Chains A and B, each alone.
Chain A
Amino acid sequence: MDLTGSAADPRLDVKTSGLPVAPGSSPEARGSGPAGHTPAVEIEHLHKAYGQLVAVDDVSFSVAEGEIFGILGPNGAGKTTTVECAIGLRSPDSGTIRLMGIDPQADRAKIHEITGVQLQSGAFPAKLRVGEIIDMYRSFYRHPADVAELAGALGLAGKRTSYYRSLSGGQQQRLSVVLALIGAPKIAVLDEMTTGLDPQARRDAWELIEHVRDRGTTVLLVTHFMEEAERLCDRVALIDSGRIIALDTPADLAAKARGAKTVRFLPSAPFDESLLTGLPEVTAIEHEGHHIVVTGTGELATAVIVALHAAGIEAQDVRIDTSTLEDAFVRLTGRHLHDAEEGAQP
């Protein structure tokens, strides 16, 4: 699979990989979808410039129904512009966008009905109470979601009578996630959903998104948190300078970035290397002093330890190196994600 296929590959809906998928993402490769199904989101050759500044430069991808699709990249990479074009807030300079087959520029009203949006810059009147804002947004939709459940899941149940201005930044953020999901949208677009949340609230938000997806909502998730993308997303598009530089499952991206995983251990006794070279997961074996370093793919550590154990050998001092999305980003751009953010314009 071509890791860096971007502009040249119009669909980029590349799927299928023999490699196992990370925990938290679905092994059924949701992106592939049966042929003939309308994708929930389909973007082809999207261009958008602000004057001289090219924000999005030929971005194409498609998202299957029920998929959690991540758009990952540093600030200023074009993530927000891409999703704002997708929901009709901005008009693209060129390219086509379809949400459930609908062109956002042609039928904005319909798009607003099927999408739920959380914007980075969203705010609400300071002197309205949380419950009043929620009730108002709830009244906008014909088939709203269960408010008590949403507010409860995001820890806002006890805040209904608080004024918006009295909320902490994290609570305001959680309210805006509640409002994005309140219309029981077919497609939820969440832009930096967990920015400003503490670790527990972040995990709660992830759990909620998984529940929402399990009920059939497609999620378009803009993030610059590697951990969030690895935990939640079925597939991730890495965006840098307005272009998709890679698109795959988080695990495959990570694996491709490093090439492989490694397991380093100290055997309790000498053993025949063919014990391990015969395993499908193993690609190479090296010696580092008394330690053995096994390179491979998939559930490498489990396979190695089980095989050794069966031969009566114990693996001691085991160290497992798994490459991450962060590694993928470094490998593909030559920069760390956090370095890339510094000095970048939002």
Chain B
Amino acid sequence: MTTLTRTRPRAPLGAFGSIVLNEARLAWRQPAGWIAGAGIALLLLVVFGEIPYFNKPSGQLGGYTAFETYLPILMCFSIALIAFTYLPGPLVSYRELGILRRLSTTPVPAYWVLAAQMVVQACLMALTLALFVSVSILFFGIGAPENPAAMVLAIALCIAALFAIGLAIAALARTAGAARGLMAAALYPMLFFSGLYYPVPLMPTVIQDISNYTPLYAGVRAIGDSWAGQFPPAQPLLVLVGYALVFGFLAKRFFRWE
């Protein structure tokens, strides 16, 4: 990317639309990643919603039910799955197959392909999260988000931070296999610290301190707070911004077209 940023795009803007259209077709025709990102998290949401114990307010969880606690965790979980599994995959395979290289000989700046991926994935993300919120409200008696503006901001930052990490993986991985390895190395510890396996407030203080600086738990806090009606504190928002900037820079710096 570094050598290409000097040149301004000369391709008609319609070209961007046609790339987005084809990326959307590819996403539609290869839905495995979407099903993994949206389906697994949604399935967990429904399972948790059906467990009676999860719907009793708990003193340990600050008066919230386990279901309410898990809702933002599962939302961030699905963002992370899309960002880490779906986002780097096509880019790495485009590079392996020479698709990016071929595109780089056209008037289209090849980073338009990245941008098109982002647009398509962001739409998938919006659909997924809208589904989460709707299912929770319609079937499990959860109140609508009380601070929708703060929630949109929290979700946008969470997407930016996790997508930046996913793009950095796509930039650094030489092969699809390496991308999967990096993805697993990043994802599973992050899930642990996000409270997916055990609520963070019930974990030792050391774990909680670490969790506060992971992007996933920062996203969980920001989304959870805004759902409950508070504007999230600066700390988790700044953590998300930090990850977005650092990994966005790494992705841009190390991205190779071939």
Least CB distance from A346 to B in Å reads 14
Which of chain A's residues have a CB closer than 8 A to the CB of B99? 123-125
The residue of chain A having its C-beta at the shortest distance from the C-beta of B90 within the complex is A125
Beyond A119-B98, A119-B101, A119-B105, 12 additional contacts (C-beta under 8 Å) are A117-B105, A119-B102, A121-B101, A122-B98, A123-B97, A127-B26, A127-B29, A128-B22, A128-B26, A136-B22, A139-B12, A140-B108
A140-B11 CB under 8 A given contacts A123-B98, A123-B99, A127-B26 = yes
Which of chain A's residues have a CB closer than 8 A to the CB of B108? 112, 140
The residue of chain A having its C-beta at the shortest distance from the C-beta of B94 within the complex is A125
The residue of chain B having its C-beta at the shortest distance from the C-beta of A144 within the complex is B12
- Report if A225 contacts B (CB, 8 A): no
Least CB distance from B105 to A in Å reads 4
Which of chain A's residues have a CB closer than 8 A to the CB of B102? 117, 119, 122-124, 179
Write the B64-107 contact mask toward A (1 if CB under 8 angstroms, else 0).
Answer: 00000000000000000000000000100010011101101111
**Does the CB pair A136–B19 fall under 8 Å?**
yes
Which of chain B's residues have a CB closer than 8 A to the CB of A141? 11-12, 106-107
CA distance A115 to B10 in the complex (A): 13
Which of chain A's residues have a CB closer than 8 A to the CB of B7? 107-109
- Report if A37 contacts B (CB, 8 A): no
Report B1-34 residues with CB < 8 Å from chain A CB.
4, 7-12, 14-15, 17-19, 21-22, 25-26, 29-30
A140-B101 CB under 8 A given contacts A107-B7, A109-B8, A127-B26 = no
Q: How large is the interface on B (under 10, 10 to 19, 20 to 34, 35 or more residues)?
A: 20 to 34
- Report if A135 contacts B (CB, 8 A): yes
**Does the CB pair B106–A121 fall under 8 Å?**
no
Which of chain B's residues have a CB closer than 8 A to the CB of A140? 11-12, 15, 106-108
The residue of chain A having its C-beta at the shortest distance from the C-beta of B258 within the complex is A89
**Does the CB pair A115–B26 fall under 8 Å?**
no
A89-B105 CB under 8 A given contacts A108-B4, A125-B99 = yes
**Does the CB pair A87–B105 fall under 8 Å?**
yes
CA distance A128 to B113 in the complex (A): 15
**Does the CB pair A113–B4 fall under 8 Å?**
no
Which of chain A's residues have a CB closer than 8 A to the CB of B8? 109
Least CB distance from A248 to B in Å reads 29
From B4, B30, B101, name the one whose CB has the most chain A CB atoms within 10 angstroms: B101
CA distance A127 to B90 in the complex (A): 12
Instruction: Tally the A-B contacts, defined by beta carbons under 8 Å.
Output: 84
Least CB distance from B175 to A in Å reads 15
A139-B25 CB under 8 A given contacts A108-B4, A119-B98 = no
CA distance A139 to B103 in the complex (A): 12
Can you list 14 contacts pairing A with B, beta carbon distance less than 8 Å? Answer: A109-B109, A112-B105, A113-B107, A122-B101, A122-B102, A123-B97, A125-B97, A125-B99, A127-B29, A132-B22, A139-B15, A139-B18, A142-B10, A183-B107
Which of chain A's residues have a CB closer than 8 A to the CB of B14? 139
Q: Which of A's residues lie within 8 Å of B, judged by CB? A: 87, 89, 107-110, 112-113, 115, 117, 119, 121-125, 127-128, 132-133, 135-137, 139-142, 179, 183
CA distance A201 to B17 in the complex (A): 33
Which of chain B's residues have a CB closer than 8 A to the CB of A128? 22, 25-26
What 6 pairs across the A-B complex have the smallest Cβ distances? A109-B7, A123-B97, A139-B18, A117-B105, A121-B98, A127-B29
**Does the CB pair A109–B18 fall under 8 Å?**
no
CA distance A112 to B108 in the complex (A): 8
The residue of chain A having its C-beta at the shortest distance from the C-beta of B96 within the complex is A123
**Does the CB pair B107–A136 fall under 8 Å?**
no
From A89, A107, A135, A183, name the one whose CB has the most chain B CB atoms within 10 angstroms: A89
Least CB distance from B38 to A in Å reads 20
Which of chain B's residues have a CB closer than 8 A to the CB of A124? 97, 99, 102
Which of chain A's residues have a CB closer than 8 A to the CB of B10? 109-110, 112-113, 142
Which of chain A's residues have a CB closer than 8 A to the CB of B106? 112, 137, 140-141, 183
CA distance A285 to B52 in the complex (A): 108
Least CB distance from B34 to A in Å reads 14
Residue among A109, A121, A133 making CB contact with B107, cutoff 8 Å: A109
The residue of chain A having its C-beta at the shortest distance from the C-beta of B102 within the complex is A122
Which of chain B's residues have a CB closer than 8 A to the CB of A123? 97-99, 102
From A124, A133, A136, A179, name the one whose CB has the most chain B CB atoms within 10 angstroms: A136
Which of chain B's residues have a CB closer than 8 A to the CB of A183? 106-107
**Does the CB pair B18–A135 fall under 8 Å?**
yes
CA distance A124 to B10 in the complex (A): 22
CA distance A141 to B11 in the complex (A): 6
Least CB distance from B109 to A in Å reads 8
Which of chain A's residues have a CB closer than 8 A to the CB of B101? 89, 119, 121-122
Which of chain A's residues have a CB closer than 8 A to the CB of B29? 127
A127-B107 CB under 8 A given contacts A109-B7, A119-B101 = no
